[in-house]
Amino acid sequence: MEKDPQTLIDKAKSAMDNAYCPYSRFAVGCVLVTESGKEYTGCNIENASYGATLCAERVALGKAVSEGERKFSTIVLVSNGASIPVPCGICRQVLSEFSDLYIVALNVKGDKIEGNLSDLFPLAFNL
């Protein structure tokens, strides 16, 4: 990660403040960094139908891709709870469409998991 990790963690925390999570009360924020160094934030957006919930990762990715971005280097994730917000299976697949990015995920206590997407998600499906 080229940029100071604390700066990215702080940015992810600000995005987490916008999480819409009335059902789980588990707020997630993230910042997705492009290879050129641009940053796109995301938060989870839950829905009464539950299954229509968007994770923070896919919100940030959708913002970035819709702005023309295709290559990503890093995603930093934070949560407001004890669980570390490692990307779910759907997000792993969706992120893997674009880049083998570096993932850093922290819970509220600062416990951290980090590593490359391909280590977390080997044998991704692609066409």
Catalytic residues: 57
Q: How far is the CB of 119 from ligand THU (least distance, A)?
A: 16
Interface with ligand THU (CB under 6 A): 21, 24, 26, 28, 44, 46, 53, 55-57, 77, 85-88
Beta carbon nearer to ligand THU, 53 or 73: 53
Q: How far is the CB of 99 from ligand THU (least distance, A)?
A: 17
For 14, other C-beta atoms within 10 Å of its C-beta total 13
CA dist 93 to 24, 52, 68, 100, 124, Å?
23, 17, 20, 11, 6
Q: How far is the CB of 126 from ligand THU (least distance, A)?
A: 21
Judged by DSSP in three states, 47 sits in coil
Beta carbon nearer to ligand THU, 12 or 77: 77
* Angle at alpha carbon of residue 108, lines to 82 and 7, rounded to 5°: 150
For 59, other C-beta atoms within 10 Å of its C-beta total 23
Beta carbon nearer to ligand THU, 68 or 110: 110
